[in-house]
Amino acid sequence: MIYPKVALIGLGLIGGSFSLAAKRAGLVGHVAGHARTAETRETALRLGLCDSVHATAAEAAKDADLVLLCVPMGAMAAVAEEIAPVLKPGATVSDVGSVKGPILEAVAPFIPAGVHLIPGHPLAGTEHSGPEAGFAELFENRWVILTPPEDADAAAVQRLSDCWEGCGAHVDTMDPAHHDLVLAVTSHVPHLIAYTMVGVADDMRRVTQSEVIKYSAAGFRDFTRIAASDPTMWRDVFLTNKQATLEILGRFTEELFALQRAIRTEDGPQLFDYFTRTRAIRRGIVQAGQDTAAPDFGRSAAGKKT
Average of per-residue pLDDT across 70-80: 92
Structure confidence at residue 252 (pLDDT): 87
**For 84-188, where are the alpha helices, taking DSSP H only?**
101-107, 154-166, 176-183
pLDDT of residue 63: 96
Average pLDDT on 238-248 reads 86
pLDDT in tens, 245-293: 888 888 888 988 998 999 999 999 988 888 888 778 777 766 666 665 5
DSSP state of 87: P
Kindly tell me if the per-residue pLDDT of 162 is higher than 90. Answer: yes
Domains and CATH numbers, the chain: 3-174 (3.40.50.720), 178-301 (1.10.3660.10)
As a whole number, mean pLDDT of residues 191-207 equals 73
The reported pLDDT for the residue numbered 22 is 97
What is the percent of the chain where pLDDT is above 90? 55
pTM over 0.85: no
User: Within the chain, where are the H helices?
Assistant: 13-24, 38-46, 57-61, 76-83, 101-107, 154-166, 176-183, 189-203, 209-214, 218-227, 231-240, 242-264, 268-287, 300-303
Q: What is the mean pLDDT of residues 62-75?
A: 94
10-55 pLDDT, tens per residue?
Answer: 999 999 999 999 999 999 999 999 999 999 999 999 999 999 999 9
